[in-house]
Amino acid sequence: MEYVRFGSTGMKVSRICLGCMSYGGADERWPWAMDEENSRPFIQQALELGINFFDTANVYSKGR
C-alpha cells in the first residue's frame, strides 16, 4: 500500500480511502446500508490490505 502525509500533521494515510456511507445500518434515507455484522468483512479486508484511511461522517446512517 502506498501512503502519503496527511497535510502537515506528519501522519501517513493510505492513498486509497474506504468510504463508509454504506455501513451502519439501513434506514429510510439509505435502505441499502449494511449493519455492523455484514460490514465487518469489508473493513477487515481493507485493514489487511493496509488501508488506514476511512471516510466516516455522523450523517452516514445517523451516526451508527
Radius of gyration of the chain (CA): 13
> Active-site residue among 23, 46, 60, 61?
60
Q: Catalytic annotation on 60?
A: yes
Q: Which residues are catalytic?
A: 60
